[in-house]
Amino acid sequence: MPKRTDIRKILLIGSGPIVIGQGCEFDYSGTQACKALRREGYEVVLVNSNPATIMTDPVTADRTYVEPMTPEALEAIIARERPDALLPTLGGQTALNLAMELYRRGILGRYGVELIGANAAGIERAEDRQKFKEAMLAIGLDVPRSGSAHTPEEAREVAARIGTWPLIIRPGFTLGGTGGGIAEDPESFERIVRGGLDASPTSEVLIEESLLGWKEYEMEVVCDRAGNAVIVCSIENLDPMGVHTGDSITVAPIQTLTDAEYQAMRDDSFAVMRAIGIATGGSNVQWAVDPKTGRRIIIEMNPRVSRSSALASKATGFPIAKIAALLAVGFTLDELKNDITGTTPASFEPALDYVVVKAPRFTFEKFHGSDDTLGTQMKSVGEAMAIGRTFREALQKALRSLETGRGGFGADGKDGPMQALGDEALGKAVARPTAERIFALHEAFRRGWSVERVHALCAIDPWFLRHLRELALFEDEITAAGTPEALAADLPLLRQTKAFGFSDRQIAWLLKSDEAAVRALRRKAGVKPVYGAVDTCAGEFAARTPYYYGTYGGAADPEGPAPADHRGAILIVGGGPNRIGQGIEFDYCCCQAAYALREAGYRVVMINSNPETVSTDYDTSDALYFEPLTAEDIVPVYEREHCIGAIVQFGGQTPLNLARSLQAAGVNILGTSPDDIDRAEDRDAFKQLAERIGIRQPASGIALTAADAQRIAGEIGYPVLVRPSFVLGGRGMVIVRQEADLLDLAEQAVAVAEGKPILIDRFLENAVELDVDCVSDGTDTVVGAILEHVEPAGIHSGDAACVTPPISLSPAVLERVRGYARAFAEGLHVRGLMNLQLAVKDEEVYMIEVNPRASRTVPFISKAIGISLAAVAARVMAGETLAEAGLTREPVLPYYAAKEAVFPFARFPGAQIVLTPEMKSTGEVMGLSPSCGIAYLKSQQAAGTCLPERGTVLLSLCDADKAAGTRAALRLAELGYDFVATRGTATALWEAGLRPRAVFRVSEGHPNAVDLIRSGDVAWVVNTVGHGALPADEGRRIRSEALLHGVPMTTVLEGFAAAVEGLAASKAAGGPEVHSLQELHARL
Amino acid sequence: MTEPIESLRLRWAEERARTAFLALADGTVFRGTAFGARCDMAGEAVFNTGMAGYQEILTDPSYAGQFVVLTAPEIGNYGCNPDDTESAGLWLSGLVVRDANPPSNYRAAESLDAYLARHGRPGIRDVDTRALTLHIREHGAQKAWLHVEDTPMTEAEGVARARAWEGLDGQDYAARVTAEQPYVFNAEGRFAVTLWDFGVKTNILRCLAQAGCRVTVVPAKTPAAEVLAGHPDGIFLSNGPADPSAVTYAQEAIAEVLRSGIPLMGICLGHQLLGLACGARCGRLPFGHHGCNHPVRDLRTGRVLITSQNHNYALTALPDCLEETFVNLNDGTVEGIRHRELPALSIQFHPEAAPGPHEAQALFRPFVSLMERHQ
């Protein structure tokens, strides 16, 4: 069946800001969909509030709305654009929920917009637990046995009916499931049931059989409207049931099922699709299997492209999102080509002749005080994927891809903490799922524990455990070689070691040598990686798409096409797994560079380990290598592709940290030299440069120990900013206001710095902070934009709300800022991007930091100014001038662009909810409007802070904020809001003529602020911190309570004032205003 | 469950020594480590891209005379069990894998290594199976010699033995794997079906039984008259190994029973024999179709089936009396035929799956319909 011609204009909804559980995989899927649909001649209207995406690049869709993803904004866009159809299945849960909301409100019906890809009934059947269960039982599938009870007697009956232990008990209608538990036996069952009945406001408990320890599987299904369906990829979780699949180490394809079991699961996956009524596209079905009996239970199905789909696409070479988009407009699978072979159709099931391992990346270190036990709620912020010929090799590659400082599966000098555990503690570490458990397994096997013993503790399938044990024990074979020279002389052993996935770094550690020496000996011995193609067909057909993985386990695909007919091959080093502080922004930059260089006639070779990204899409570059980002893995790719240079500026800190070792290995680093990049990090060198340029710097010093730090802080005076050098995302960075706190905090910073110095700066209170991104070609320097932070200096620039053009600075100050940018670019010999962070206080400009590389604000600025700075920078790095690359002057914006950050605090109960110089946000959103206030308001709405249009505002301000806060409150009063306030703030409001209700402090009695939040009487919490504010623990309680109950919260006065301005402007405008990027850019 | 450390060390040492090898007739040699039975064998090297189902492959008589190179790297993971067998024994010449693992599955009765050894078939592991697969893809399926015995052999000698082997072309392998005596599978059923056994997979018998057939399995060389004398409701031509052109007696017998008007269905070798009996030609594919992911279009409904395949030969030049019913979407080869006048149809791929996708199992239905009408 050919494509539909009755629809011409398609609305595509993206997934909004990056949050835990919904990352940049939906940028990948949305971008693929946009490209595929436009190539077929459809007009694509895209909505996504996230500026750090490729999909919101103005060239990706016909019309791009970077607007809040609210039903109101969507209705305004639909009314304007009048699309024929809405494709809701490529933007994660956000898009699906939003589409359903539009459907329920009758908006789709009113404007005649058809849902394609999935219909409303199907989505409801998949999403509603009860309806889903009924549908599954109707087709004869097994679901977890369960029942509910209102008394202990009823509970015992339910338990008897279920008939297995352990049982999971959940009290009905409690927030966050408090009061439940897992009962292993009748005694604990009795106790937990009674507790649960007490905790539940309806005296109800849900009792369900526990699937803990069962094997967990996923099937990625794609189907078309003719009824054809294929399994693109099957996935087996290494971590058994009980750990969210996003937090599990997973393996593709399935390893431990017989064909009979696999095919039955395949049949049932199709049956699930049909029962739910999925029309077309990609879905994922999750299964649990009892390892003792083979009993199989359906867990859930996602009627849309998911995180697993992105992984499956990268693992197999089958572009699920692209195919799903084309199927949604009526194509059938057999009409679409398999891009990789170019000759065979897409109606097939990829055959893998390698093993794929995905490992999750966590950042618990960012959230002090939170529980690091993994459970059913996802906590990882990113993932790395690795491909090897065997599970062993793939696992080692995946672990070293994570960039957590590990060289593989242990044996890298970082096993100390596990070695320090006693047997009992180690047993617990093996049993409790955490980010580090895999290394507890390593230590257990090093101690000679049997597979049986370890399996009994962790329930991980013995198939995986045996491989882990083999790796752990094989270390002794390497050590027995004695020296690297002896190992290199024993070729079979060296080959075997490398085929087992051991990195040079691990070998060096085992043989007490250094990595470079091992590498040199190995290369001299002729033991080098070969490259296998990810070809979808296990070698059956010739692949024409150069997508490779490196291996020492055989797989000798011929070299890629000989370099001809282009200006040379350039290697772009990607950013690796997403983490807080290094995410999609850098992937955006890498992709932009790839597009620009390809257009300029270069052959672009991409290397990255992150399956969620657009950069690891095989058509972003000319050749793609899915490899860990270490010098060992990068250099041979550079050599194999005969590159003329490598770009390390765009992938964030990961490639930058590799610049020196790559250069030492003969790699030509394009753009700003590693020396100059280092010079910006080197305090003394940088200080000299700043002095020469004549810019002020806050008084500062360098410390190697906490005691040093104390001395320096005493000299320069409090408050001070303490931070380790050479880290991204401000990890370990903190403001210290008094000497009493310094020692502890400085010690933490020293620990994070890992031997590198920590920096102590005088902190400028209440200064305005600026971010400046510019590009230099070595002669000229052009500023892309200057961003003004809404909050005062001291909040990490990744976490701060920002607005451009700046609103509070004089033209003279801005001109000086531009002058400094030019001077630093010249002083650091910048060729490419540079980011400056400055603070302005009393018309005086202070230098905080200069980074001669891509910054996380580059995509935001590019969207704001309509010019891709990363693309310009890439061309400049390849040798063009700024004029040739098309950037000659700083754009003047006739509108405002505001950025707000999005935080994962709700995922980390117990962690402190306060912004500091250490970055904690996972994602960002953008608001655009000719009115600065509306732009800011949109950014708040887009970040999920849906500020109420009326209602009661709880105000609790510190002394310094009381005057300005009162002014803002007066405006709010005009708009019809009421107020409650803590005592001091209430007094200030009374004096201004407002009549707020005063509330008690929590310690004083009731009703207090927490009571009001709980009872739903407060629609907005404004709580600022400083002298005269609430005591710290009280403020924390209020903020936690607001977060828990979903009440919007503003914690800085500047944000409050800007929001008030926006609310006033929005009210005056009389409804949501929406603009496409293309329209805005046309005004430039 | 836990392999003793001494045994691990021994295995690692063996993997380093790489004393076993698979020598191809064109002189290429792939080294590895022996497992399974330690007996040298000759055969034709083909690759199979299925990701699971090695036990079904091992017991499929169609692989007689072949070395099966599995492209999936981790093999043996779920061991071997008494249920997932497609015949009473192992018929292939040997198994070639990247990695052979001990089992982890509740149904596993023994390891792959032990299973091969018990059935007297050799295996070789730690082979660069991708390089070998690409070699076969580029140079075609090849005569080969697998050396796994302890007595040393030079690679040159292995190559010589591969070349000296007679090969599969023109060889009647069906006669080597067929049942010696007739037997009945499923004594109850609406339809009496006689199945000519050229190397039948048990799942074909199971599928027929499920469709209501009581199946009498007869040896390959059973004359047509004897089959007709039983007055069956339907006649089935099973799958089987090697070269259909060598099985001339079956072609003649099929031509004879066709004239009787009794419904007839064939699978794989049976399909090729029906085609040849009707005047089609049969040629060799460069490296065959062996795997579980081949897309085939049903030309009458337009639907695409993902199919299980295992054949080196394919029908070409169909005569007017035959209608093409299925086509392979990868290379356009014939995947199914139907006689325009007579109640006869056949399928090149394996609707009975085992291993592979089940969605083509409905294709036994048309045969049943023919028998219903005929009854």
Does some domain include residue B141?
A: yes
Share of chain A above pLDDT 90, in %: 66
Same-domain pairing of B180 and B136: no
Q: Which of A913, A912, A917, A937 is nearest to A927 (CA)?
A: A937
Q: Name which CATH class applies to A129-139+212-350.
A: alpha beta
Check CB contact under 8 Å for A353 and B73.
yes
CATH number at residue B77: 3.50.30.20
Residue B51: which of A253, A267, A334 has the nearest Cβ? A253
Which residues of chain A lie closer than 8 angstroms to B356, CB-CB? 259, 263
CA atoms of A188 and A182, how far apart (whole Å): 8
Write down the pLDDT at residue A798: 82
Residue B72 lies in a domain: yes
Does the CB of B182 have a partner CB in chain A at under 8 Å? no
B304 part of contact set with chain A, CB < 8 Å = yes
A9-127 and A928-1069 share one CATH topology? Answer: yes
Which DSSP helix (H) or strand (E) runs through A532? strand A530-533
CB B159 within 8 A of CB B24: yes
Average pLDDT on B116-126 reads 97
Best B3, B55, B57, B104 member to test A by mutation, with max A CBs in 10 Å, is B104
Same domain membership, residue B337 and residue B283: yes
With a CB-CB cutoff of 8 Å, which residues 311-340 of chain B face chain A? 329-330
Q: Note the pLDDT of residue A907.
A: 63
Average pLDDT of the residues in B288-317: 95
Torsion region of A778: left, alpha or beta (phi above 0 gives left; psi -120 to 50 gives alpha): left
Q: B135 and B231, same structural domain?
A: no
Determine, for residues B293 and A349 on separate chains, whether the beta-carbon distance falls below 8 Å. yes
CATH of domain A146-209: 3.30.1490.20
Residue B39 annotated among the catalytic residues of the structure: no
Contacts of B32 in chain A (CB under 8 A): none
Q: Give the gap in angstroms from C-alpha B152 to the nearest C-alpha of chain A.
A: 19
Give the per-residue pLDDT at A731: 63
Q: Both B335 and B202 in a single domain? A: yes
* Residue-level pLDDT at A203: 85
Last residue of a domain, one of B112, B146, B164: B164
- A353 and B15: CB-CB below 8 Å? no
Q: Which residues of chain A have a CB within 8 Å of the CB of B111? A: none
Domain boundary residue among B164, B191, B221? B164
Q: B96 and B189: one domain?
A: no
Per domain, the residue ranges of chain A are 9-127, 129-139+212-350, 146-209, 378-528, 559-672, 673-695+764-852+857-891, 699-758, 928-1069
pLDDT tens per residue across span B43-60:
999 999 999 999 999 999
Do B52 and B111 sit in the same domain of this protein?
A: yes
Residue B294 contacts A where some CB pair is shorter than 8 Å? yes
* Closest A-chain CA to B290: A540
For domain A9-127, the CATH architecture is 3-Layer(aba) Sandwich (3.40)
Confidence (pLDDT) at A126: 87
**In Å, how far is A272's CA from the nearest CA of chain B?**
15
Q: Which chain A residues are Cβ-neighbours of B5 within 8 angstroms?
A: 473
Write out A91-141 in H/E/C secondary structure.
CHHHHHHHHHHHHHCCHHHHCCCEECCCCHHHHHHHHCHHHHHHHHHHCCC
CATH topology (fold) of A928-1069? Rossmann fold (3.40.50)
pLDDT of residue A1067: 86
The pLDDT > 70 percentage for chain B reads: 100
Report the residue of B46, B60, B78 to disrupt the A interface, i.e. the one with the largest count of A CBs within 10 Å: B78
Smallest CA–CA distance, residue B71 to chain A, in Å, is: 5
Q: Write down the residue that tokens 């505002």 correspond to.
A: A953
Residue B213: which region, alpha, beta or left (left: phi > 0; alpha: psi -120 to 50)? beta
Claim to verify: residue B102 and residue B12 sit in the same structural domain: yes
Maximal C-alpha separation, chain B: 68
**Selected residues 82-101 of chain B with any CB under 8 Å from a CB in chain A:** 83-84, 98-99, 101
Q: Do A350 and B293 touch (CB under 8 A)?
A: yes
Query: Last residue of some domain: B164, B183, B203?
Result: B164
Q: Which residue of A has its CA nearest to B84?
A: A260
Instruction: Domain of residue B125: give its range.
Output: 5-164
Minimum CA–CA partner of B128 in chain A? A554
Instruction: Give tens-digit pLDDT for B211-267.
Output: 999 999 999 999 999 999 999 999 999 999 989 999 999 999 999 999 999 999 999
- B77:A255 CB<8 A: yes
For residue B359, which residues of chain A lie inside 8 Å, CB to CB? 267, 270
The answer to whether B306 contacts A230, with C-beta atoms less than 8 Å apart, is yes
Residue B258: CATH number of its domain:
3.40.50.880
Please identify among residues 33-62 of chain B the ones whose CB lies closer than 8 Å to any CB of chain A: 47, 49-53, 55-56
Q: Give the pLDDT band of residue B310 (cuts 50, 70, 90).
A: very high
Residue type, A608: N
Same domain, B288 and B248: yes
Structure-token match 């030609």, residue found: B281
B148 and B186 assigned to the same domain: no
| Closest residue on chain B to A472 (Cα) | B5
Given a contact cutoff of 8 angstroms between Cβ atoms, the answer to whether A383 and A611 are in contact is yes
Q: Please tell me whether residues B17 and B137 are part of one structural domain.
A: yes
Residue B169, in any domain of the structure: no
Instruction: Note whether A556 contacts B130, CB cutoff 8 Å.
Output: yes
List, in sequence order, every residue forming a beta bridge with B314; answer none if it has no partner: B283
Count: domains in chain B: 2
Q: How many CA atoms lie within 13 Å of A489's alpha carbon, on the beta-carbon side?
A: 6
Model-level pTM? 0.93
Exposure letters B34-73 (e unless 16+ CB within 10 A, then b):
bbbbbebbbbbbbbbbbbbbbbbbbbbbbbbbbbbbbbbb
Residue ranges of chain A whose pLDDT lies below 50: 176
Are the CB atoms for A586 and A854 separated by under 8 Å? yes
Contact B50 A351 (CB under 8 A): yes
Among candidates A254, A333, A474 on the partner chain, residue whose Cβ is nearest the Cβ of B12: A474
pLDDT at A1000: 84
Q: Does the structural domain A378-528 have CATH classification 3.30.479.30? A: no
Contacts of A343 in chain B (CB under 8 A): 330
Residue B151 sits in the same domain as residue B183: no
Cβ-proximal residues to B131 (8 Å cutoff; 6+ apart), any chain: A554, A555, A556, B30
Alpha-carbon dihedral A148, A149, A154, A158, rounded to 10 degrees = 20
Q: Specify the DSSP element, H or E, that contains A31.
A: helix A25-39
Cβ-Cβ contacts under 8 Å, A548 against chain B = none
What Rg value do the Cα atoms of chain B yield, rounded? Answer: 21
Chain A and chain B share a number of CB contacts under 8 A equal to 192
User: What distance in Å separates residue A286's CA from the closest CA in chain B?
Assistant: 19
Q: Are residues B219 and B350 in the same domain?
A: yes
CATH fit for domain A699-758, picks 3.40.50.300, 3.30.1490.20, 3.20.10.10, 3.30.830.10: 3.30.1490.20
pLDDT, position A389: 95
Class of residue A753 by CB neighbours under 10 A (exposed 0-12, middle 13-18, buried 19+): buried
pLDDT attached to residue A538: 94
Q: At what angle do helices A307-316 and A320-328 cross, to 10 degrees?
A: 110
How big is chain A by its Cα radius of gyration, in Å? 29
The alpha-carbon gap from A465 to the nearest alpha carbon of chain B, in Å, equals 10
Is CATH 3.40.50.20 the classification given to domain A559-672? Answer: yes
Length of chain A: 1084
For residue A822 the two structure tokens come to 């030019």
- Taking the CA of residue A539 and the nearest CA in chain B, the distance in Å comes to 6
Of the candidates B207, B213, B268, B292, the residue annotated as catalytic is B268
CATH code at A673-695+764-852+857-891: 3.30.470.20
Chain A residues touching residue B50 (CB < 8 angstroms): 259, 351
